[in-house]
Structure 1
Amino acid sequence: MKHKTLEKWRELITQQQSSELSIVDFCKMLRLSTSSFYKFRGQLQEPDNPPRFVKASKPDIDKTIQPSVSVRLGEVSLSFPTPC
């Protein structure tokens, strides 16, 4: 069976989760494409069971602040601007 229905993928994903096999080993055993397994697992992800990883984004940096490094030894203080 080359093309599987969404319901069949749902069953396979449930089987893998209840097995003690990794996704790679499970797919090898059943001759499934791991990329297809991950693709359908993502499509069938339950809304109340979000993925464990989320895409991180860089915060916006305030360009008006000039970062620097300061060294203080007793009464003497040196400051060096850092390149951005």
Structure 2
Amino acid sequence: MRALLSLRQETAAFQEKVVIFQQAAGMMHYSVYVIGADGRISRRIDLHCATDDDAKQRAQLIACQHQNVELWQEARMISEFTRPQ
């Protein structure tokens, strides 16, 4: 049990360092929300990209696998994508 707690603490500390590195490298956090058939969010996918355009390209690829997705950066909605027919 202690080993699991230690591993969780180490993982959290590592993730904090990754976020600091990404911010220093100019990477921004984005969220892609997969929208289900009922219109509700069924899944969130986190992205770290240098620009909005990079995030849009990655979200578009995700949309190829899902019906509808929305791309957000914090409270700013950037775009919506639907799966190509």
The TM-score, its normalising length taken from structure 2, stands at: 0.24
> Higher Cα Rg: structure 1 or 2?
1
The TM-score, its normalising length taken from structure 1, stands at: 0.24
Question: Which one scores higher on RCO, CA 8 angstroms, separation ≥ 6?
Answer: 2
